[in-house]
Chain A
Amino acid sequence: MIKGSVWKFGDDVDTDVIIPAKYLRSVDQTVWPKHLLEGLDPTFSSKVKTGNIIVAGRNFGCGSSREQAALAIKWAGVSAVVAESFARIFFRNAINNGLPLVECKGISKAVDEGDVIEIDLDSGNVKTKKGILRSSPLPPFLKEILKSGGLVEYYKAKRAV
């Protein structure tokens, strides 16, 4: 169960606003979370706290394949992203790095910024003040990657067997 308070964004949040390209070529990877979502809210990285949840509209993470977008969100302490839908490369990158995602229709309308919501990854249920929203849980093997902590850990666990 993941429980946390919500930061809310709209549709088509692209990877350029999640983490602008000018910060990518940094050998110091700790800079990424400092610029998280800077394109939409320059003060966001100073406000977001460990355990917070991002809620967004359609097509979250569209654009480039930069994995730094998923990493910046994870390293900023965000515990999960719930959106109406995700762009597919971002979806893969998040799962591969152990960042939980829930594709949940109707979430934008059911949640306001600052609300506390509860996510049950096993069932795909999201508990909001307006009731429980149901979504399809991840297929078993994606859950396994997520539970391992990401694709690297999944690979290592499989190799060890």
Chain B
Amino acid sequence: MLGSTAVEKIIANAVGRRVRVGEFVEVPVDFSYFHDGTGPLIIDALKRMGVEKIKDPDRVGIVFDHSVPPYSDQAATLQAKVRKFARDQGIPKFHDLGEGICHQVVPEMGYVSPGMVVIGADSHSCTLGCFGLFSTGVGATDLAYILATGRIWLKVPETLGIDCKGRLSGKVSSKDLILEIVRMVGTDGATYKALEFSGAAVRHMSQSSRMTVSNMAVEMGAKTGFIEADLKTFEFLGREGKTFRTDTKVERIRVDAGSLEPKVACPGSVANVKPVYEVEGTHIDQAFLGSCTNGRYEDLFEAAKIVRGRKVHRDTRFIVIPASKSTYLKAQKDGLMDIFLKAGAIIGVTGCGPCLGVHMGVLGDNEVCISTSNRNFIGRMGSVKSSVYLASAQTVAASAVEGRITDPRRFS
């Protein structure tokens, strides 16, 4: 029998029959989630659909992460609407302000497991693909349809394999690896496709580092960023599941993680990636460490190693935001927050922070930010005249200390 890709097998398992690439299928959804940003439109759509009770409140997660705490009266009003919805529908997996970013909280709570079909009303829902499951982002109306019916229509995606050989080392992280991959694939090189990351570099890296990799699959247009589950996956989730493997030939791109240098995505396009040394010395006004891409404990830890005993540059505001409450607690217990505060960093409330350009570090005209987040579109973090460089936690920390873009390898 001909083999299949892991993603085909997961979808086939969900629909109960074999599926072909390119086929449109209605797929039962194991778990869906959304946040305070997409929530209000989901509720509006359900109302227009005439749905009073959602199908299965236990299979839904809601995490408030976009406006934490609300930055305007209107944001607060919309959050109250979602809060009331969660209560009226009896949704137990509801996480109000301050719990963390949805893509972090959902796996931390063990709401998902390998082999599942997971849909989130946020483009970075592709992050969860690194837990050996199929996860993709949709808009509000699709999510409302899932809440009403428990199903979604999908086109079975073709898989593009990204084979990552070698091993990351020193001040080079999985962020540098994924930036290099985005450069190679381009901003639309994986549109409608599933990316599957594999190889020694992926097997060796932590589950948190894998989340960084899968998180940016959407920046190449991909539907998901699949990574086969292993013991690290089960440990992170606190549960096991059904492990699916690709056993057919797919198109592959190869990248050598062992020879990578720190990278930065220059303003305007995530694929505009250069080695850090090529833009070293560029003045920055702000450095941001956080987001669903790089706000995890290991990111804070690596950044703290660089900042420890040093001061943030006087012309730079360094904003640090842990991706979840549990990340925050562990970082605080281990003294990382002390290091950041003493160095002159500003610690923000757990959530998406300034990534989407509405609060907690919005950029003014002509300002420059180096950020661990995932998008550097025009105006993404504030003024349309501002610019954003994307880099690893190490590069952002080194740059915060120097007040200009700096290769983290300069710090021992």
Chain A residues within 8 Å of B, Cβ to Cβ: 12, 14, 16-17, 20-22, 24-28, 38-40, 58-59, 62-68, 70, 85-89, 92-93, 96-97, 139, 141-142, 150-152, 155-156, 159
Within the assembled complex, what's the spacing in Å between the Cα atoms of A139 and B191? 18
What secondary structure prevails in chain B residues at the interface with A?
A: loop
B38: chain A residues at CB < 8 Å are 65-67
Cβ–Cβ contact B141 & A67, under 8 A: yes
B221: chain A residues at CB < 8 Å are 59, 62, 87-88
Cβ-neighbour of B50 out of A17, A38, A93, A156 (below 8 A): A156
Given A58-B188, A141-B24, A151-B145, A21–B357 Cβ distance below 8 Å? yes
For A86, give the chain B residue with the smallest CB separation: B191
Cβ–Cβ contact B356 & A21, under 8 A: yes
Within the assembled complex, what's the spacing in Å between the Cα atoms of A65 and B292? 15
B377: chain A residues at CB < 8 Å are 14, 16-17, 39, 63
Chain B residues within 8 Å of A, Cβ to Cβ: 24, 37-38, 41, 45, 48-50, 66-67, 71-72, 74-75, 77-78, 121-123, 125, 137-142, 144-145, 148-149, 153, 187-188, 191-192, 218, 221, 223, 269, 356-358, 375, 377-380, 384
B121: chain A residues at CB < 8 Å are 65
A142: chain B residues at CB < 8 Å are 24
Cβ–Cβ contact B187 & A62, under 8 A: yes
Cβ–Cβ contact B145 & A155, under 8 A: yes
Cβ-neighbour of B78 out of A16, A25, A87, A97 (below 8 A): A25
B187: chain A residues at CB < 8 Å are 12, 59, 62
A39: chain B residues at CB < 8 Å are 377-379, 384
Cβ-neighbour of A66 out of B45, B139, B145, B218 (below 8 A): B139
Cβ–Cβ contact A156 & B379, under 8 A: no
Given A85-B188, A93-B141, A155-B145, A63–B123 Cβ distance below 8 Å? yes
**Listed A/B pairs (23) with beta-carbon separation below 8 Å:** A16-B379, A17-B377, A17-B379, A21-B356, A25-B66, A25-B78, A39-B384, A59-B187, A59-B221, A64-B356, A64-B375, A65-B121, A66-B38, A67-B38, A67-B141, A88-B223, A89-B137, A89-B218, A93-B138, A93-B141, A96-B139, A155-B49, A159-B50
For A153, give the chain B residue with the smallest CB separation: B48
B384: chain A residues at CB < 8 Å are 38-39
Cβ–Cβ contact A25 & B140, under 8 A: no
- Output the least CB separation between B318 and chain A (Å): 22
Cβ-neighbour of A89 out of B24, B138, B269 (below 8 A): B138
Within the assembled complex, what's the spacing in Å between the Cα atoms of A141 and B24? 9
10 A-B pairs besides A25-B66, A25-B75 with CB distance below 8 A are A25-B78, A58-B188, A65-B140, A66-B38, A68-B41, A87-B191, A96-B139, A152-B48, A155-B49, A156-B50
Given A21-B356, A25-B78, A141–B375 Cβ distance below 8 Å? no
Cβ–Cβ contact B141 & A151, under 8 A: yes
Given A85-B191, A88-B223, A155-B49, A141–B357 Cβ distance below 8 Å? no
- Output the least CB separation between A135 and chain B (Å): 15
The total of Cβ contacts below 8 Å across the A-B interface reads 128
A40: chain B residues at CB < 8 Å are 378
B192: chain A residues at CB < 8 Å are 88
Cβ–Cβ contact A151 & B78, under 8 A: no
B74: chain A residues at CB < 8 Å are 25-28
For A20, give the chain B residue with the smallest CB separation: B379
B357: chain A residues at CB < 8 Å are 16, 20-22
For B269, give the chain A residue with the smallest CB separation: A12
List the 3 shortest-distance A-B pairs measured between CB atoms, nearest first: A93-B139, A59-B188, A67-B139
Cβ–Cβ contact B188 & A62, under 8 A: yes
- Output the least CB separation between B10 and chain A (Å): 18
For A69, give the chain B residue with the smallest CB separation: B139
Given A21-B357, A27-B77, A92–B139 Cβ distance below 8 Å? yes
Cβ–Cβ contact A25 & B139, under 8 A: no
Within the assembled complex, what's the spacing in Å between the Cα atoms of A27 and B82? 13
B375: chain A residues at CB < 8 Å are 14, 16, 63-64
Cβ–Cβ contact B358 & A25, under 8 A: yes
Within the assembled complex, what's the spacing in Å between the Cα atoms of A103 and B41? 26
Cβ–Cβ contact B188 & A70, under 8 A: no
- Output the least CB separation between B40 and chain A (Å): 8
Cβ–Cβ contact A152 & B49, under 8 A: yes
Within the assembled complex, what's the spacing in Å between the Cα atoms of A141 and B218? 25
Within the assembled complex, what's the spacing in Å between the Cα atoms of A68 and B141? 11
For B81, give the chain A residue with the smallest CB separation: A27
Within the assembled complex, what's the spacing in Å between the Cα atoms of A66 and B35? 12
Cβ–Cβ contact A25 & B67, under 8 A: yes
Given A20-B357, A27-B78, A155-B148, A64–B123 Cβ distance below 8 Å? yes
B66: chain A residues at CB < 8 Å are 25
A12: chain B residues at CB < 8 Å are 187-188, 269
A92: chain B residues at CB < 8 Å are 138-139, 142
B141: chain A residues at CB < 8 Å are 67, 93, 96-97, 150-152
B50: chain A residues at CB < 8 Å are 156, 159
Within the assembled complex, what's the spacing in Å between the Cα atoms of A157 and B384? 43
For A13, give the chain B residue with the smallest CB separation: B377
Cβ–Cβ contact A89 & B123, under 8 A: yes
Cβ–Cβ contact A151 & B142, under 8 A: yes
